[in-house]
């Protein structure tokens, strides 16, 4: 990933990372007090989605759907993606997740440059 990001002109922090576990994802979603979060789980190795939207659900309010293609369990790393996502929500969720697993990369499907997201206070020593 670091080599590919380098070819895109994106710098990587000198901290290791991994995919977040199901438990980390759910914990972060429960921290989002200013959002309504609705989780749809269909069991192990099945699709898993969380709809995240502002509590003030006015038209145009920020929202996102976080998805996992095949949820493998609370203790296992999950590859996640966002659809219909407001960048503010994506960055907030990834920043909070990075406290658990290190920096994460948002790769927009619009062809724009990928973005490395991490919590401002992240160091190797304080990963959960």
Alpha-carbon distance of 18 to 27, in angstroms, equals 17
Q: Give this prediction's pTM.
A: 0.87
DSSP H stretches of helix in 10-113: 22-31, 87-101
Bridge partners of 77, per DSSP, are 21
Does some domain include residue 36?
yes
Alpha-carbon distance of 42 to 11, in angstroms, equals 37
**Domain that residue 28 falls in:** 17-119
Does some domain include residue 59?
yes
127 pLDDT higher than 80: no
Does some domain include residue 91?
yes
Q: What pLDDT, on the 0 to 100 scale, is given for residue 126? A: 52
Does some domain include residue 3?
no
DSSP letter (8 states) at residue 126: G
125 pLDDT higher than 50: no
We report the CATH number of the domain holding residue 113 as 3.30.310
* Number of domains making up the chain: 1
What the block records as the tokens of 6 is 């380098």
What the block records as the tokens of 85 is 């996502």
Does some domain include residue 46?
yes
């Amino acid at each position: 990933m670091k080599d590919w990001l380098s070819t895109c002109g994106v710098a990587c922090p000198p901290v290791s990372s991994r995919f977040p576990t199901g438990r980390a994802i759910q914990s972060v979603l429960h921290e989002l007090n200013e959002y309504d979060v609705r989780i749809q789980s269909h069991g192990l190795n099945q699709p898993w989605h969380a709809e995240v939207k502002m509590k003030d659900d006015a038209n145009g309010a920020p929202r996102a759907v976080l998805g996992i293609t095949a949820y493998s369990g609370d203790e296992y790393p999950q590859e996640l993606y966002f659809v219909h996502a407001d960048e503010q929500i994506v960055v907030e969720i990834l920043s909070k997740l990075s406290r658990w697993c290190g920096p994460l990369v948002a790769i927009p499907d619009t062809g724009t440059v990928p973005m490395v997201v991490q919590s401002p206070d992240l160091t190797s020593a304080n990963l959960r």
